[in-house]
Amino acid sequence: MSSRVGSSVADHARGRVARVVADFLKIDPAAIDPHMPLVLYGLDSVGSMELVAELERALERELPEWLLLEHPDLEALVRALEEAVRLKPDATQITPPRAATTVASGAATTVASGFSRTAELQQMLADSILPADIRPPAAGTAGTESRILLTGATGFLGAYLLRDLLDMTDAEIWCLVRGTDADSSGRIAANLARYGLNPRTDGRIHAVGGDLTLPGFGLRPSLYRDLSELIDAIYHVAADVNWVLPYGALRRANVVGTRELLRLACTHRSKAFHFISSLSVCYATGGPAIVGEDDDMLPHVDRLPLGYAQSKCVAESLTRQAALRGLPIRIHRPPLIVGDSRSGTSNLDDLVALLIKGCVQMGTAPDLDWTFDAMPVDFVSSAIVRLGQDFHHQGHWHLHHPQPRHWRECVLWMNMFGYSVRLVPYQQWQQHLTVDSSSPQHALHPLRSFFLRPRDEGIGIGGSTVPELYQEGRRSAVTGDVTRRAMATLGLEYPRLDAELFDRYFVSYLSRGFLPQPAQSASTRPTKRTAGCHEDPRFLEGLLRRHSGDPGLRVRSVSINPIGTGHSVISELTSWRRQRSAGLFKCQLTIERTGTTDPECVDLVIKAKPSDRDALDVGQTVAAMCDERLERAFREYRERIGLAGSHLRELAVYEHADVRVQRYLPQCFGTWRNDECEEWGLALEHLQSLTLLNAVDQPKSWSRPHIDSVISGLSDLHAIWYGREPALQNAVWLDEGLSRARACELTPLWGALAAHAAPYFRAWVGPSMTRTHRQLVDSIDKWWQPLEQQPRTLIHNDFSPRNVALRQDDHGFRLCAYDWELATPGPPQRDLAEFLCFVLHPGVSLHEVDCLVERHRHLLETAAGTSIPRDPWREGFRSALADLLIDKLAFYALVNRVRSQPYLPRVLRTWQRLFTLFSQRVDE
H or E element at residue 770: helix 767-778
CB atoms within 10 A of CB 165: 26
Reported confidence tier of residue 709, pLDDT bands at 50, 70, 90:
very high
- Determine the pLDDT at residue 87: 45
CA angle 284, 287, 291 (to 5 degrees): 75
Give me the amino acid identity at 533.
C
Reported confidence tier of residue 167, pLDDT bands at 50, 70, 90:
very high
| Residue 634, pLDDT above cutoff 60 | yes
- The per-residue pLDDT for range 43-91, each reduced to its tens digit, is 766 677 778 878 888 877 777 766 776 677 788 888 878 755 544 443 3
Between 571 and 567, the more confident residue is: 571
Question: How big, in percent rounded to 5, are the helix, strand and coil portions of the chain?
Answer: 50, 15, 35
- Determine the pLDDT at residue 913: 97
CA angle 4, 8, 13 (to 5 degrees): 150
- Determine the pLDDT at residue 567: 52
**Among 162, 143, 371, CA closest to 276:** 162
| Residue 287, pLDDT above cutoff 80 | yes
**Any idea which of 173-182, 305-314, 324-333, 336-345 has the lowest mean pLDDT?**
173-182
- Return the DSSP state at 86: B
CA distances from residue 191 to 337, 537, 610 in whole angstroms, order as listed: 17, 45, 42
- Determine the pLDDT at residue 46: 63
Please tell me the pTM assigned to this model: 0.84
- Determine the pLDDT at residue 744: 97
**Among 523, 504, 522, 483, CA closest to 386:** 483
| Residue 844, pLDDT above cutoff 90 | yes
Supply the DSSP string of 470-531, one letter for each residue: TSTTSS-EE--HHHHHHHHHHTPPPPP-SHHHHHHHHHHHHHTTSSPPPSSSGGGS-SS-B-
Spatial distance between the Cα atoms of 694 and 838, rounded to a whole number of angstroms: 12
Cβ–Cβ < 8 Å for 590, 549 = no
- Return the DSSP state at 681: E
Q: Which one of 7-21, 23-37, 267-281, 724-738 scores highest in mean pLDDT?
A: 267-281
Q: Which long-range contacts (CB under 8 A, 24 or more apart) does 803-809 make?
A: 804/692, 804/710, 804/835, 805/687, 805/690, 805/691, 805/692, 805/693, 805/694, 805/695, 806/690, 806/691, 806/692, 806/706, 806/709, 806/710, 807/690, 807/691, 808/691
Cβ–Cβ < 8 Å for 443, 358 = yes
- Determine the pLDDT at residue 98: 29
Spatial distance between the Cα atoms of 184 and 166, rounded to a whole number of angstroms: 18
- The per-residue pLDDT for range 891-905, each reduced to its tens digit, is 999 999 888 889 999
Measured in whole angstroms, the distance separating CA 563 from the mean position of its chain's CA atoms is: 19
List Cβ neighbours of 798 (8 Å cut-off, separation of 6 or more). 819, 821, 822, 834, 888
Give alpha helix (H) positions in 234-342. 247-251, 257-265, 307-324
- Determine the pLDDT at residue 6: 41
CA distances from residue 178 to 209, 237, 574, 630, 918 in whole angstroms, order as listed: 5, 13, 47, 55, 73
| Residue 906, pLDDT above cutoff 80 | yes
List Cβ neighbours of 745 (8 Å cut-off, separation of 6 or more). 640
Residue 16: phi and psi, rounded to 5, are -65, -45
Query: Could you give the angle at which helices 704-721 and 846-864 cross, rounded to 10 degrees?
Result: 40
Cβ–Cβ < 8 Å for 753, 630 = yes
Cβ–Cβ < 8 Å for 86, 95 = yes
- The per-residue pLDDT for range 509-563, each reduced to its tens digit, is 999 999 999 986 554 566 666 778 888 999 999 999 999 999 999 999 999 988 8
Give me the amino acid identity at 236.
H
Percent of the chain with pLDDT over 70: 90
Give the residue-averaged pLDDT of 474-485.
92
Spatial distance between the Cα atoms of 148 and 885, rounded to a whole number of angstroms: 62
Spatial distance between the Cα atoms of 591 and 601, rounded to a whole number of angstroms: 6
Cβ–Cβ < 8 Å for 541, 553 = yes
H or E element at residue 667: none
- Determine the pLDDT at residue 460: 44
CA distances from residue 59 to 16, 28, 280, 733, 900 in whole angstroms, order as listed: 9, 21, 34, 72, 45
- Determine the pLDDT at residue 924: 54
Please list the residues that pair with 559 across neighbouring strands: 588
| Residue 99, pLDDT above cutoff 80 | no
Cβ–Cβ < 8 Å for 308, 283 = no
3-state SS string over 858-916?
A: HHHHHHHCCCCCHHHHHHHHHHHHHHHHHHHHHHHHHHHHHCCCCCHHHHHHHHHHHHH
Spatial distance between the Cα atoms of 388 and 117, rounded to a whole number of angstroms: 37
Measured in whole angstroms, the distance separating CA 313 from the mean position of its chain's CA atoms is: 23
| Residue 338, pLDDT above cutoff 60 | yes
Average pLDDT, the chain: 87
Between 81 and 587, the more confident residue is: 587
Q: Which long-range contacts (CB under 8 A, 24 or more apart) does 124-127 make?
A: 124/247, 124/301, 124/302, 124/310, 124/313, 124/314, 125/301, 127/251, 127/255, 127/256, 127/314, 127/318
**Among 885, 887, 436, 308, CA closest to 641:** 887
Cα atoms in the 13 Å half-sphere on the side-chain side of 392:
1
- The per-residue pLDDT for range 427-449, each reduced to its tens digit, is 999 999 999 988 888 999 889 88
Spatial distance between the Cα atoms of 494 and 512, rounded to a whole number of angstroms: 27
User: Residue 47: exposed, middle, or buried by beta-carbon count in 10 A (0-12, 13-18, 19+)?
Assistant: middle
Phi/psi zone of residue 110: left (φ > 0), alpha (ψ -120 to 50 degrees), beta? beta
**Among 647, 645, 668, CA closest to 657:** 668
Q: Do you know the residue count of the chain?
A: 924
**Among 792, 819, 821, 816, CA closest to 805:** 816
Cα atoms in the 13 Å half-sphere on the side-chain side of 287:
26
- Determine the pLDDT at residue 819: 94
Cβ–Cβ < 8 Å for 157, 121 = no
**Any idea which of 26-30, 285-289, 400-404, 700-704 has the lowest mean pLDDT?**
26-30
CA-atom Rg of the chain in angstroms? 32
| Residue 584, pLDDT above cutoff 60 | yes
Q: To 10 degrees, the CA torsion angle through 166, 169, 173, 178?
A: -60
Supply the DSSP string of 369-412, one letter for each residue: --EE-EEEHHHHHHHHHHHHT-TT--EEEE---SS-EEHHHHHH
Cβ–Cβ < 8 Å for 261, 212 = yes
Cβ–Cβ < 8 Å for 80, 89 = no
Between 68 and 337, the more confident residue is: 337
List Cβ neighbours of 924 (8 Å cut-off, separation of 6 or more). none
CB atoms within 10 A of CB 592: 16
Between 30 and 350, the more confident residue is: 350
Between 597 and 387, the more confident residue is: 387
Cβ–Cβ < 8 Å for 827, 789 = no
